[in-house]
Amino acid sequence: MSMSSPRRWLWFVLPIPIALGLARLRFDVEVLNLLPAGAPAVQGLKIYQQHFANARELILYVHTADSETTESTARAIAERLRRETNLVAEVTWQPPWLEHPAQTAELIAYLWLNQPQEAFGQLTHRLAATNLNSLLATARDALATSLSPSDLARLSYDPFGLTSLPEGATGSAPRFGEGQEMFASADGTFRLVFVKAQSELASYRECAQWLQAVRQMVNEAVPPAQQSADGVAIGYTGRPAFVTEIAGGMERDVTTSVGGTSLFIAMLFWLAHRRWRPMLWLLALLALILAGTLALGGLIFGTVNVVSMGFAAILLGLAVDYAVVHYQEALAHPDLSVPEIRRAIAPSIFWAAVTTITAFLVLNFGGLPGLAQLGSLVGVGVGLSALVMIFAFLPPLFPDRRQSRPKTTETTQAHEPKASPPLRPIVTRSVFVGTALLICSASCALFSGHPRMDATANALRPRSSQAYAALEAIKEQLNQKREPLWLIVEGQNEREVARRLGLVSPLLDEAVSYHLLSGFTLPTALWPRPELQAANRAAARQLASERELLHVCALSNGFASNSLALTEGILDVWQKASAATNVFWPTNPLSSWVFEKLVARTPSNFYALGLLHTAGDSATPYPASFAHLEWQLPRDGVWLSGWELLGGAILTTVKSNLWKLVLPMAGLVLLSLWLAFHRFTEVVLSLSILFISGLCLLAVMRIAGWSWNLLNLMALPLILGTGVDYSIFMQLALRRHRGDLTMAYRSVGRALLLCGATAVSGFGSLAWSSNAGMSSLGQVCAVGIAGNMLISVFLLPVWWKTFVGQESKAESPEAKSSPAQSSPPNSRLARPSRLYRAEVWQIGLAIARKLPPRTAAGLSRILADVYWTLARRRRAVVVRNLLPPFGGDRAAAEKTGRELLRNFAGKLADLWRYESGQPIARMFDELTGWEHFAAAQSTGRGMLLLTPHLGNWEFGAPLLAQRGVKLLIITLAEPHGRLTGIRQAARARWGIETVVIGRDPFAFVEIIRRLEAGATVALLMDRPPQESAVIVELFGRKFAASIAAAELARASGCVLLPVYLLRKGKGYTAHILPEIPYERAALRSRETRHTLTQEIMRAFEPAIRQHPDQWYHFVPIWP
């Protein structure tokens, strides 16, 4: 199967999860789902919305110049809507007890049943047979003498006075004959119409269609021409109106922001490059990324809040960065292949993507589920876009540059970056003066104060909303200047709710006494009292049985039969209730309309709603006094909530969680900067950009009058994570081009301007969002990112040139076209890793004693992969060291370099087993060339075993020890003195002697004496100390090798025997090569000794070429 076959299968399989995700995707328009579910204020609001704010109820208002026109218009609308029974379940335009007075009987009977037994007994006494005539005579006299229209109306249909409930019995129940204030303003020019949908309106599309149908019917009842002529104003509010506005607004937002951002991206790309093909391919990939992210969102979340759909424009602005940077790099380096460009820019892309993804993912710790979902969608999308743009954008645009081209030494040297020209003094002065002016200007703007903090919930509301405008008009016309707070009481049964209402009432009385509240309304009188109902059932049954007596008495006292309709209705209810054993609840339409405003029942729970009216100016957002009141309320089943409290409560939550966002993000930024640069100065420069851009952001907010709110506070981690990318890209580009500002600008600076502009457009498009919070979030992010980008492109290069200068010598692995070079002798890379120290070695020995070999090998591979990923500079050294054996093929060198590090980790694990005293005899599989050793041994001369850093050369000593050969090892001192002693002692346990060159000035004399005596000595040929190094040729390149072997041969006449040990499978194979011949007398000439050193290294070249993944060099080896 060809390599392309899996890719073809991938393209066939990929649509499956995308289709599943899109099929599972649902949209949520509930604003409260954006907020933390655990906050009491949010819980209370959700319960209110679920049980008391009828999801099917639309509220219309009619406003005209006179009360008669208003009433006739409202009646006409109600009558027209009532005819559409397939769409409308109920229309209420005046108090139900006025429109359907007969239905009040059930509610009155219910209220009497809930009275104390003494009060009901007084009613029974009043209706006793002996008292009826006197009662009716009093009513008849009142009708004859009263001047009160309400008394006349009441007594005409209630001669027995059943509507005169005991004081406090009605509570929150309406007073029959009154209640117009709930439907009309005091002057009658403003009137409400409540419209209940027939269907559930489960989705926002159903809401929109139903609302459109209602609007059409209203226009039929009152044509637009008549509305204009009579000055009729009609407004719509309620959940169907809000849902339609929010969903429609977000649809328009997404369409406008995505379309506008895409158009802006296309325009900028065209202005920058004037090429149609890459622009269209870029837009196609952006569409694919957007669809893929949305599908993944469907798979992960299932339901996506429409506010979270703001991710689309943000993602477009960020995703284009990876394509533009690659494309600009390809144009700036036309000689490089696509894989080479990919490798050159990969570290910048990686660290930029990591910080961006993490910046958005940390929104999950902010306490706002809506923004957390947005952050997760953008994080997933950025990861997807990085992969798509890295691997799919360039190949179709440069088909002739798809494959890496092997580079010769001359070719790589031709592309070596040249030294950058020095900065002109005027440029340096201009940049630093500009920086100072920028800081001073921003500081001056902030002297008058910082941006204020908006503690209200306005950030959650639409910026321009007809539904909210209608709601405000209702509050103004009905004299409800301030929205009441809601007190919701929950219980599993009627008794539990009643008990909690009893506990709450004294606390609210106290709040009224110290003027926190001006008053409150609890549904205590409406709430059923099972024990009172049970006590009154017998008396109610008795009164119902006396129906005929009441009827006869009324007629005999001059009352007509129709005046007893209410009494008959009440008696019917009592008769029905007295026959029941369960708690009695009224159920007719009027009672249901009243109860659903204050009472809710589910199969498992009961809810009661109280309204708290704040006093004076005390309703500042979430004052301490309300916090104290909330603390006093019962913990279980009681919620104090309301829009006035929501903003402050959520802002408190957001502030308390802000450290969870900013601290991890700041830590990640510092870690990313350190891993990207490994240089303190460059880290400080990046942090300086963040500081100055933050200062500029605060200044812009102050000048523009913007404020912080509970949504745009989330901009802080976003600016940290996305803004730092520009400084990473620019400083790594300056490294690649050795401080050449012109080349850095050509290859990356122009791309960053384009990337920054698209990112700003992505965030900036949210400024036109219909949601106020998302709009402010987009504005703040756009300004912050613009500041980061502009400072990184125009100021940072001069800062870098001034403070970093020539420290960077193209050390980064992105310098793909530069030849392999060793660092200067004092370079940190010329020294072994800081991990090569006594403490780490002892830890390794301890682990080797405890872990089984297989476990140790697996762990070593994992740690090797981690080190390869993190140690970027050391990785670059390894790759450069491997380039000559591969003829300059960097792709092969990088692939082998990773495997080399894994092999070295395995070698260390084996070496620690050996030095910790563990048995290793079974690790030797094969020995070739022993006949060469035997032949050399038979001569009686000393033997000098020569080996490079190939395989596990240390294992040669125990292998020879098994065959009775005593070995003397020549070594240099380790980087740490204690480590030298540790390793020397470990060898001594195996009977192997170590001579450390450099400690004893007579050590070399001792080695010559041993060789003359016939000893076997081991010596490493590559990576010699500077005083014994000579330049030979290896793989066509100059290479420093040790001349010590030739010197010892001249002094002792020993046999020179090349050997090496390689890891093969699960064990090691030892190879002894034929003796290197020489004429001892000729070695008096240094030139001859140099030639002999060349021959020794040439003997190892085939083995190194065959096994480069076991040639262990982690410092630069090519001069």
For residue range 48-68, what is the model confidence (pLDDT) as tens digits?
Answer: 878 887 778 899 999 999 989
Say if residue 566's pLDDT is above 50.
yes
Helix, coil or strand: residue 862: helix
Write down the pLDDT at residue 15: 74
- 363 HSE (CA, 13 A, CB side): 34
How buried is 117 (Cβ within 10 angstroms: 0-12 exposed, 13-18 middle, 19+ buried)?
Answer: middle
Please determine, for residue 1100, whether its predicted confidence score (pLDDT) is greater than 70: yes
Category of 820 on φ-ψ map: left (φ > 0), alpha (ψ -120 to 50) or beta:
beta
Q: Give the mean model confidence (pLDDT) for residues 398-408.
A: 67
DSSP 517: E
Q: What angle is formed at CA 570 by the lines to CA 565 and CA 576, rounded to 5 degrees?
A: 125
For the ranges 179-188, 355-364, 492-501, the one whose mean pLDDT is highest: 492-501
Is 949 in a helix, a strand, or coil?
Answer: coil
| pLDDT at residue 175, rounded to an integer | 52
**Mean pLDDT, rounded, for 33-39:** 72
Q: How far apart are CA 211 and CA 1095, in angstroms?
A: 93
* Distances in whole angstroms, Cα of residue 822 to Cα of each of 601, 872, 879: 80, 16, 12
Q: Are strands 57-63 and 190-197 parallel, antiparallel or unpaired?
A: antiparallel
- pLDDT at res. 824: 41
Dist. CA 471–CA 643, nearest whole Å: 13
pLDDT in tens, 1061-1097: 998 877 889 999 999 999 998 998 989 999 999 999 9
pLDDT of residue 596 exceeding 80:
yes
Give the model's pLDDT for residue 265. 82
Query: What number is the average pLDDT over the span 64-91?
Result: 91
CA dihedral 676, 677, 682, 684 (to 10 degrees): 60
The predicted structure's pLDDT at residue 4: 46
Phi, psi of 905 (to 5 degrees): -65, -40
Which residues on adjacent β-strands are paired with residue 1111?
950
The DSSP symbol for 453 reads B
How far is 314 from 765, CA to CA, in rounded Å? 8
Whether the per-residue pLDDT at 419 is higher than 70: the answer is no
pLDDT confidence band for 178 (50 / 70 / 90)? low
Question: In 3D, which of 326, 327, 308, 303 has the Cα closest to residue 379?
Answer: 308
> What percent of the chain is predicted at pLDDT more than 70?
90
d(CA 222, CA 214): 12
Of 396, 378, 386, 382, the closest CA to residue 347 belongs to 386
- Cα-flanking dihedrals φ and ψ of residue 1037, to 5°? -120, 155
**What mean pLDDT is predicted for residues 344-371?**
77
> How many Å apart are CA 673 and CA 351, to the nearest integer?
8
**Higher-scoring residue by pLDDT: 534, 464:** 534
Structure tokens at 984: 């020397």
What are the tens digits of pLDDT across the range 9-31?
Answer: 556 666 777 778 778 877 776 66
How far apart, in Å, are the Cα atoms of 120 and each of 110, 167, 169?
12, 13, 11
Asked if pLDDT for residue 173 goes beyond 70, the answer is no
Examine the pLDDT at 622 and tell me if it is beyond 60. Answer: no
Give the model confidence (pLDDT) of 985-1007 as tens digits. Answer: 888 887 788 888 765 555 678 88
pLDDT at 157 over 50: yes
Residue-range domain boundaries for the chain? 101-170+530-584, 484-528+586-641, 923-1110
Buried-exposed string 809-823: b where 16+ CB fall within 10 A, e elsewhere: bbbbbbbbbbbbbbb
Binned at pLDDT 50, 70 and 90, residue 811 comes out as very low
CATH classification code of 484-528+586-641: 3.30.70
How does pLDDT run across 213-243, given as a tens digit for each residue? 999 999 999 998 888 888 899 999 988 888 8
User: Looking at residue 1002, what is its pLDDT?
Assistant: 57
CA distance 207 to 213: 10
Predicted confidence band at 1046 (pLDDT cuts at 50, 70, 90)?
A: very high
Residue 458 CB neighbour total at 10 angstroms? 16
DSSP for residue 951: B
How confident is the model over 509-527, as a mean pLDDT? Answer: 87
Please state, in angstroms and rounded to a whole number, the distance separating the CA atoms of residues 356 and 361.
Answer: 9
- CA distances 51 to 56, 348, 358, 585, 601, Å, are 11, 53, 39, 17, 8
* Poorest-pLDDT segment among 267-281, 647-661, 1017-1031: 647-661
d(CA 120, CA 577): 15
Q: Which tens digit of pLDDT belongs to each residue from 734-778?
A: 887 888 888 888 878 887 888 788 888 878 877 777 778 778 888
Largest CA distance in the chain: 156
pLDDT at res. 9: 59
pLDDT band of residue 820 (cuts 50, 70, 90) is very low
Q: Give the model's pLDDT for residue 635.
A: 80
- Cα(39)–Cα(652) distance, rounded to whole angstroms? 10
H helix or E strand, kind and range, residue 238: strand 233-238
Which pair of structure tokens corresponds to residue 641?
């909530």
Q: Give the SS3 label for residue 856.
A: helix
For the cut 90, the answer to whether the pLDDT of residue 408 exceeds it is no
> Who contacts 1 (Cβ-Cβ below 8 Å, separation ≥6)?
none
Q: How far apart are CA 1109 and CA 775, in angstroms?
A: 55
What count of other Cβ atoms lies within 10 Å of the Cβ of residue 200? 9
**How high does pLDDT run on average in the chain?**
82
Q: Please, which pLDDT band fits residue 437 given cuts at 50, 70 and 90?
A: very high
Residue 58 pLDDT: 92
Structure tokens at 832: 């072994």
Which stretch of DSSP H or E encloses residue 304?
strand 303-305
